[in-house]
Amino acid sequence: MGLAADIAHSRVTVYLPAGDKKFFTVYKQEQPMTQIGNRLPDATGKKIRSMEEPLVNRALQQNTVVEGLREWELGVFNSFKAFPLRDSKGKAFAALSFDTAVPDDIIINQAVELLRSMKQPVDGNLNYGRMSPEDGLIVVDKNKIIIAANNEAKHIFEVMDVKDLVGRRTNDMAINWPLVGMVMDTGTAESKEYTMHGRLISMRVLPVVAKPHKGCAFVILQDITELRKKDEELLIKSVVIKEIHHRVKNNLQTIASLLRLQERRAETGESKNILKDCICRVNSIAVVHEYLSQQDTGLIDVAKVAKGIYQAILSSMVQPEFKLETNFYADTASLPSEKATSIALILNELLQNAIEHAFCGRDKGRIDVNFTDAGDNYRLEIKDDGIGMPTGFDIKKTSSLGLKIIKTMAEADLQGSFDLNANSSGGVSALVIIPKGGMEECQKD
């Protein structure tokens, strides 16, 4: 019914007689998607007095097609056509009406035949999908001659310098649609994309009667030339953006390599440590760009980024003779790249801090990393069983650059919080809470 409403530019309604003969029940009603504005509220399920719908009443009582005018709103009249729906004995048991401001008897009559011939559900069949206001509609008779066309179809062909559609055959050199003949021969709906006169046209051909060689067909057309151009432009932009991320990753790795060379030439342990920290930070950002270069969206799975950083830090900072027990867990969370970058840097700093300071004077230890979805927020937690925090430690007064980076990113970039606490069994637990509020908007953008 929805497709029939679109085809006919009409509101389509099925009326059933109620138990009381003075009333009808609106069994189903569909509004056309091809018509902008001029709509009334859906009346499906409503009970209506038969005297308010005299044309419907006549169609049922006289078992015949009735047409006339119906007041759409105060002082505005639409063309109204009511068709009886008959049972196997030929008795009218319901009425089907078409209510439109732009009547076309050929199109409406064929839309009725389309509905009557539908013996099987067509849900999920894209060929029977709804139309849009820009779609062209053509009716082809059994001799493959165009007998009706809407204004949109005429406009599509005028752009291609093809005029006077009505009366042309579908095998006309200016049209040449073998698909129409095939559909009418088989009684099965088909679709195809054609290049015609330099334009790309999407075509759906629907047999009015779903039986071979049984009458007319509807041809639904859409000029998708500009749509395809936009798709190609988006694809090119996507490839370019991925290439940019790939080059940024390579440049960051080059910077990390230069810093590594400088680290080897550093004369003091403090200089070496500073350069090592910088290398890890640069590599953490490079990991984010590596994932961005592999996908088409600006969203990144933080779980994959976190695991990449976790493995890189352990392999580069843990000495071979040190026995480090580790555990890593991360829930999947697709976040915007700028948020993922902040989380990556925070994880980098926390892991570095734990490996550098937690196990002084020891030959073994344990680090647990957990990134979890806690409903309204995400929780990044790093625990160690090390020597714990120094006596009198105050995170607000610390001079550590790494901790300042973590605090700034957690609070300013992620609008979250960061805290360090001593574990009851020894060691330190670092917790970053990242609220989801605002991230959903970033993902929509």
Q: What residues of the chain score a pLDDT lower than 50? A: 441-442, 444-445
* pLDDT value of residue 297: 59
Q: Are 359 and 351 in contact (CB under 8 A)?
A: no
Burial 41-70 (b: 16+ CB within 10 A, else e): eeeeeeebebeebebbbbbbeeeeebbeeb
> Which residues, including other chains, have CB under 8 Å from residue 138's CB and lie 6 or more apart?
146, 148, 149, 150, 153, 165, 218, 219, 221
Q: By three-state DSSP, how is residue 244 classified?
A: helix
Q: Are 436 and 377 in contact (CB under 8 A)?
A: yes
- Give the span between the Cα atoms of 340 and 302, in whole angstroms: 6
The pLDDT tens digits for 242-261 are 677 677 778 878 887 888 78
> Which residues, including other chains, have CB under 8 Å from residue 28's CB and lie 6 or more apart?
1, 13, 14, 44
* pLDDT value of residue 295: 62
**DSSP sequence for 360-412:** TT-SEEEEEEEEEE-SSEEEEEEEE-SS-PPTT--TTT---HHHHHHHHIIII
Burial class (CB in 10 A: 0-12, 13-18, 19+), 158: exposed
Query: Partners of 364 in the beta sheet?
Result: 323
Q: By three-state DSSP, how is residue 309 classified?
A: helix
Q: Are 351 and 283 in contact (CB under 8 A)?
A: no
> Which residues, including other chains, have CB under 8 Å from residue 390's CB and lie 6 or more apart?
none
CA 176 to chain centre: 35
The runs of H, that is alpha helices, within 269-336 are 269-292, 302-317
Structure tokens at 26: 């609106």
Q: Are 386 and 354 in contact (CB under 8 A)?
A: yes
Closest CA to 382 of 362, 403, 363: 403
Does the global pTM surpass 0.85? no
The pLDDT tens digits for 45-74 are 999 998 888 999 999 999 999 999 988 777
DSSP letter for 96, please: E
Query: Partners of 369 in the beta sheet?
Result: 328, 382
